[in-house]
Amino acid sequence: MLNKNNLLGKWLFFILFFIATNQTFAAPDPNFHIYLMFGQSNMEGAAPIENQDRITNPRVKVMADLNCSNLGRTYGNWYVASPPLNRCYSGLGPGDYFGKTMADGMPSSVTIGLVPAAVSGTPIALYQKSAPIGRNNQNIPTQFNGGYAWLLDMARKAQQAGVIKGIIFHQGESDTSDPNWKNQVKEIVTDLRRDLGIGDVPFLAGELLYADYGSCCHWHNTEVRKLPGLINNAHVVSAMGLPGMDVYHFTSASYRELGRRYAQIMLDKIDRNSTVSSLSSSSTRSSSSATSLSSSSRSASSSSRASSSGKCTYSITNDWGNGFTAAIKITNTSSTAINAWSVSWSYANATRVTNLWNGALSGSNPYTVTNLDWNKTIQPGQSVEFGFQGTKPNGAPVIPTVTGSVCN
């Protein structure tokens, strides 16, 4: 009887050890794409949440950054994303429509996970690894001595479930025109990438409100635009043409558009081949891509343009003297699908394009834009649109003629 009991005990130990081992070392899902989000109030979300914002997508998840009994959320757990994403009582921010647009732009097999760590009114020093200002009297979980440790803890929890694909950031109002700010941001990004073993994943920094809307801090955009020169694979998300509801914060409509702009750039910059970071070291191991796309296949060449015809419409969406935003809409007017597109245009005066989203830009007067992989197909009667910002001489903007095989 003793031998049987010993044998039973050994088998029970083996089974429990096997279960625990498999739970501890279960591989992250390469189709669960994680994005870190940090900054201050414009990333946290400060605008009213409207009915349209409460429409959820089950393929977009958010990790709770606090224990929020009012939302039924527990710190570190995943939930279907619904505003507020950051904290317990915040408003609408860019993360909401960033997540939705990312999901729309990826295969249905991919789920988007958002990890928010934004705190209203905080200086960039809150997120430095050395914690020079400690918690700064902010409402973050009490076990952390600063924002960096908090964000890192959530990111590591997220890595147990999926793959970190990028970082989005919006901050600067509390550090306006500080020449050292950009160096602090570089230090934070460098530390995060190294400590998480995620390589040079895309880092997107959003601009602050423009002077046209009475912004308190528009001067700081000069510093934001310097980040790509300091940080590998860093990109600036334009706030041009986006109104504010006060001198600091964007309107609900502006947050929606800003979130889409973050996503449009991220969709073009991310590595679509899944790479899972090891939780035990800084090394990485590659797994098969769910999308089977290489970076070279994101945009179509001119030789692959479709023969179907369409209508191309150039429209000015905002104009403020020496600057503008515009959009070009391509509508498929034929009876067959357009499987790739490319359009071109030129300006007769000193008008120049400075930033573009939702397409791949090449050349300069003439400008040529080709599709990205996720928006290359236009079904009959449907449209795609890309937008851009630019500078121009004072006065009425020039409306150029748009040409291309889809602009018959």
Is the residue at 220 inside a domain? yes
* Rg (alpha carbons) of the chain, rounded to whole number: 23
User: How far is the CA of 295 from the CAs of 34, 35, 196, 262, in angstroms?
Assistant: 19, 19, 23, 19
In terms of domains, do 70 and 139 share one? yes
Is the residue at 154 inside a domain? yes
User: How far is the CA of 344 from the CAs of 234, 312, 341, 350, 366, in angstroms?
Assistant: 27, 10, 11, 17, 6
Q: Of the candidates 256, 284, 312, which is a domain's last residue? A: 284
Q: For the residues 299-320, what does the mean pLDDT come to? A: 63
pLDDT digit string, tens, across residues 105-133: 999 999 999 999 999 999 999 999 999 99
In terms of domains, do 42 and 141 share one? yes
Residue of higher predicted confidence among 312 and 278 = 312
Sequence-ordered list of residues with C-beta below 8 angstroms from that of 259, at least 6 positions apart, any chain: 93, 94, 95, 96, 97, 98, 99, 100, 101
Number of H helices, E strands in the chain: 7, 16
pLDDT digit string, tens, across residues 310-348: 899 998 877 777 888 788 989 999 999 999 999 999 998
The yes-or-no verdict on residue 89 having pLDDT over 60 is yes
Q: Give strand pairing partners of 357.
A: 387
In the chain, pLDDT over 70 holds for what percent of residues? 84
Q: Of the candidates 284, 313, 339, which is a domain's last residue? A: 284
In terms of domains, do 216 and 323 share one? no
In terms of domains, do 265 and 307 share one? no
State residue 4's pLDDT score.
54
Q: Which domain holds residue 382?
A: 302-391
In terms of domains, do 365 and 277 share one? no
* Residue 220 known to be catalytic: no
In contact, 318 and 210? CB cutoff 8 Å: no
Q: For the residues 352-367, what does the mean pLDDT come to? A: 86
What's the pLDDT band for 303 if we cut at 50, 70, 90?
A: very low
Q: Of the candidates 284, 310, 330, which is a domain's last residue? A: 284
Is the residue at 14 inside a domain? no
Query: Which CATH number belongs to the domain containing residue 378 in this structure?
Result: 2.60.40.290
State residue 125's pLDDT score.
96
Provide the residue type at 303 as one letter: S
What's the pLDDT band for 271 if we cut at 50, 70, 90?
A: confident
Is the residue at 381 inside a domain? yes
State residue 6's pLDDT score.
60
In terms of domains, do 158 and 201 share one? yes
In terms of domains, do 217 and 321 share one? no
Indicate the SS3 state at residue 94.
helix
DSSP 47: B
Point out the least confidently predicted range of 67-71, 229-233, 379-383: 379-383
Q: What is the mean pLDDT of the chain?
A: 85
Is the residue at 4 inside a domain? no
pLDDT digit string, tens, across residues 226-265: 999 999 999 999 998 899 999 999 999 999 999 999 999 9
Q: For the residues 54-70, what does the mean pLDDT come to? A: 98
Count of domains observed in the chain: 2
Nearest to residue 181, comparing CAs of 238, 249, 122, 125? Answer: 125
pLDDT digit string, tens, across residues 134-162: 999 898 999 999 999 999 999 999 999 99
In terms of domains, do 196 and 66 share one? yes
State the sign of the Cα–Cα–Cα–Cα dihedral 202, 259, 61, 119. Answer: positive
CA gap 125, 132 in Å, rounded: 7
In terms of domains, do 99 and 213 share one? yes
Phi, psi of 135 (to 5 degrees): -80, -15
Point out the least confidently predicted range of 55-59, 241-245, 291-295, 382-386: 291-295
Indicate the SS3 state at residue 219.
helix
The conformational region for residue 26 under phi > 0 = left, psi -120 to 50 = alpha, else beta, is beta
**Which one of the listed residues 170, 249, 271, 342 is annotated catalytic?**
249
The yes-or-no verdict on residue 17 having pLDDT over 90 is no
**CA of residue 289 relative to chain centroid, distance:** 20
What's the pLDDT band for 207 if we cut at 50, 70, 90?
A: very high
**Which one of the listed residues 109, 130, 200, 246 is annotated catalytic?**
246
Indicate the SS3 state at residue 212.
helix
In terms of domains, do 260 and 321 share one? no
In terms of domains, do 275 and 314 share one? no
**First vs last Cα of the chain: how many Å apart?**
89
Burial zone of 227 (CB within 10 Å; 0-12 exposed, 13-18 middle, 19+ buried): buried
Per DSSP, the residues of 325-381 read: EEEEEEEE-SSS-B---EEEE--SSS-EEEEEESSEEE-SSSEEEE-BGGG--B-TT
Is the residue at 5 inside a domain? no
Is the residue at 174 inside a domain? yes
What size, in residues, is the chain? 408
In contact, 342 and 305? CB cutoff 8 Å: yes
State the sign of the Cα–Cα–Cα–Cα dihedral 53, 55, 58, 63. Answer: positive
Residue of higher predicted confidence among 309 and 44 = 44
The yes-or-no verdict on residue 297 having pLDDT over 50 is no
* Residue 246 known to be catalytic: yes
State residue 287's pLDDT score.
33
In terms of domains, do 37 and 144 share one? yes
What's the pLDDT band for 294 if we cut at 50, 70, 90?
A: very low
pTM of structure: 0.67
Is the residue at 338 inside a domain? yes
State residue 8's pLDDT score.
56
